[in-house]
Chain A
Amino acid sequence: MTMKFKSLYNSERFLKIIFGLSLFIVLVMGGLAYRYIKELSDSFDEVQEAYQLHIELEKLLSALKDAESGKRGYIISKDSTFLEPLWVSGSELDLSLQRLKALTQGNPDQEEKIADLEIKIDNSLRIFEKTLQLAQKNEIESAEFISAFKEGRQNMNSVRFKVLEITTHESDLLGTKKERSSKSLSNAPMVVYYVLIFSLLILLLIYLQISKNLKILKEKNELLETFKESTTQSEIISKHGNWIWNIDDNTFEYSDNLYRLLGEEPQSFEPTLENFIAFTHPEDLDKLTEQVNKMMENEDLPFIHYRIIQKSGSIKHFKAYGKVLIDSDGHKKLLGTTADITDEIENYRLIEERNLELERNNKELASFNYVASHDLQEPLRKIQTFISRLEDKEQENLTDNGKLYIKRIKSSSARMRSLIDDLLQFSRTNKSEEAFEDSNINILLETAKHDLVEIISDTRARISSDSIPSMKVIPFQIKQLFSNLISNSLKYRRENVAPVISIRYSETHASEVPNLKYSKHSRYHTITIKDNGIGFDQEYAEQIFTLFSRLHNKNEYSGTGIGLSICKKIVENHNGYITAEGYPNQGSTFIVYLPITS
């Protein structure tokens, strides 16, 4: 949930929404502020109007007063200069009334009152006229004058009253208006302030977001810069160059290292197809041109291989590959990589040569095997057969010396036979994955014992063994291993001591055996073959497994020095390890470790 929100918060869309929303709010609040200010200025106008009305009414009143006092002055002094304000005020009164009418326009109440006032003023002026005429005729004492005079005073009072009424009404109006607008107007400064604060907040938020985005952009830019640099380095180290074919305008861009691969200074010539193809080996030119044409047609470049010749004359093998990329603006580009694989090809050639040599050697070895197995055995077999003929048929014709010589020839040829047999066995002990099969080791051990049954009974040996679990092995080799180890124990028995051989099984962790510490298998089957024979000095524990190595004179013991080498080879074929412990005149122990697979 928060993750979702966070990603929303970071998105460009969120920014747009916030921006739109805030724009709307600022507009709304701006509208409100405009309305408040408009209202304020309207009420100001109203106050102004009321004030104007007041002044006009005062002016009207004072004009009337001036006319009245002028008339009184004239009646007392008969000086006509006193009448001057009267003429002036007449026109002034008209003007004032006009203005009052204009000011009260739209307010029927006041209009009516002004109309009333106008009648009263007209009445006043008519009374002035009348009293003035009477005064000019010197009829001041007449009852007509006195009643007119009184009427004038009465009329004046009603004018004053009317003016008072209008002013009161106007201030009443102003009062209610003020009360109405003051409520909303008092909010106006707050609204403007809030709009300001809100706008600032939005501005801040947007600023923060933009600066954050800028930072991310900068980081990404730096990453891109680093990546570019490492690409340049990897181009140099792995001997490849990049190029871009801008398909829309058919132009090329070559990376610096592509020039270096051609043996040229970076960007030392125009990156055009023609300039590049000019380096191609003449024999590969047709092939490359065809590939390039195909590339132009299909806008794709599968793996191609060709040679170029640098200006220095050295020939290089190139491999190229390209793929179309459409950028965000919709421009199609073919991004290509060209690698110098000269070293690879040379190494491959070297390996191939060595493989051929190995094959030759193997063939020689195989034919040597054949020679050993067949051609060497044949004459030996005949020698032995002829000896047996001599012994059978010519025994009585031989002197004692002759019989001795025959005996010596016989034992030598027997020894030669066992040497050849063992050597053959050794060379045939090879590893082949197909030969591995799940085997019952106990049966293999029994078979090995069966092959040795004569010598076992002759020496009256006792052999005991644990039950050994099944393993995936090369069966005949494991049988050979048991056979060789048992016959080794029987061969090197102590004189006049019946051999006792015990074969034990256990499981061992690789870490417990120093030589297996770094092996890829963690657990090992451990088969221990212990005897009570002549043993050997521990310092020869390694040596006994090497080919033809013997610890004893061949006249004492009949070994060929190959049997244990075969054991070692068999165990190694099974990814195992064999070791020996010797105790002179007590016996020896052979330990075979075979990995527990699966």
Chain B
Amino acid sequence: MRENYTYVVLADDDEDDRLFFTEAFDELKMKTKVDIYKDGVDLMNALNQSESTLPNILFLDLNMPMKSGLECLTEIKSNPRFKDIAIAIYSTSASEEDIEDTFVSGANIYIKKPNDFKVLKKILSDVVTMNWQYHTSGLNKDNFLLRL
């Protein structure tokens, strides 16, 4: 780690979800820095700036206008500069198709948005403290979808 905090980035077009996300991190009081982008285009513009600091964990919503989460994922995975970013898919749906597509495209974990704030906090704290190297080395289709 370049700093002694975890740099977390979320790209989500939904205002409420962005609110829950930031509030959850506020309440968690972990050593994190959280940046929020309101769609895929904004996110990619920010990442593609050569002097930008790259996030440790990127939370990607799938259903976004203009540039979907899957498109962002493909772009990120095709650029070697982003190879160290852990990518967590963060979506309302958990359809087989979406899970399959994002797994094949190289995402690290798939999170279905919970319907309880306490659950959300638990998920985010788990993901931030996760040993990514260990998780990624044993990654398969069964443990790709985060189960609580």
Contacts and interface: CB of A to CB of B under 8 A. Distances in A.
B14 to A, nearest CB: 7
Contacts of A165: none
Contacts of A378: 14, 92
A374 B62 CA distance: 11
A442 interface: no
A377 B95 CA distance: 12
Interface stretch (B41-49, B64-72, B111-119, B132-140): B111-119
A388 B14 contact: no
B123 to A, nearest CB: 12
B93 A385 contact: no
Interface in B93-148: 93, 95-96, 113-118, 120
A512 B118 CA distance: 55
Contacts of B6: none
Among A373, A380, A388, A417, max chain B CB count under 10 A is at: A388
Nearest to B117: A388
A587 B89 CA distance: 44
Contacts of A384: 115-116
A556 interface: no
Given A382-B16, A385-B20, A377 B116 contact: no
Contacts of A382: 16-17
A73 to B, nearest CB: 165
A283 interface: no
Among A373, A384, A385, max chain B CB count under 10 A is at: A385
Contacts of A388: 115-118
Given A374-B63, A378-B14, A385-B20, A392 B118 contact: yes
Contacts of B63: 374
Nearest to A380: B115
A380 B92 CA distance: 10
A484 B118 CA distance: 28
Among B16, B113, B115, B116, max chain A CB count under 10 A is at: B115
Interface in A358-380: 373-374, 377-378, 380
B113 A381 contact: yes
A389 interface: yes
A381 B118 contact: no
Nearest to A476: B96
B115 A381 contact: yes
B126 to A, nearest CB: 18
Nearest to A378: B92
Interface in A241-264: none
A380 B16 CA distance: 12
B14 A385 contact: no
A392 B117 contact: yes
Contacts of B20: 385
Contact of B116 (A380, A385, A428): A385
Given A380-B115, A417-B115, A385 B95 contact: no
A377 B112 CA distance: 11
B45 to A, nearest CB: 26
Interface string B30-70: 00000000000000000000000000000000010000000
Contacts of B92: 374, 377-378, 381
Nearest to A381: B115
A373 B93 contact: yes
B1 to A, nearest CB: 31
A417 B92 CA distance: 13
B140 to A, nearest CB: 16
A428 B120 CA distance: 27
29 contacts: A373-B93, A374-B63, A374-B92, A374-B93, A377-B92, A377-B93, A378-B14, A378-B92, A381-B92, A381-B113, A381-B114, A381-B115, A382-B16, A382-B17, A384-B115, A384-B116, A385-B16, A385-B20, A385-B114, A385-B117, A385-B120, A388-B115, A388-B117, A388-B118, A389-B117, A392-B117, A392-B118, A417-B115, A428-B96
Interface of B: 14, 16-17, 20, 63, 92-93, 95-96, 113-118, 120
4 nearest A-B residue pairs (beta carbon): A384-B115, A388-B117, A381-B115, A388-B116
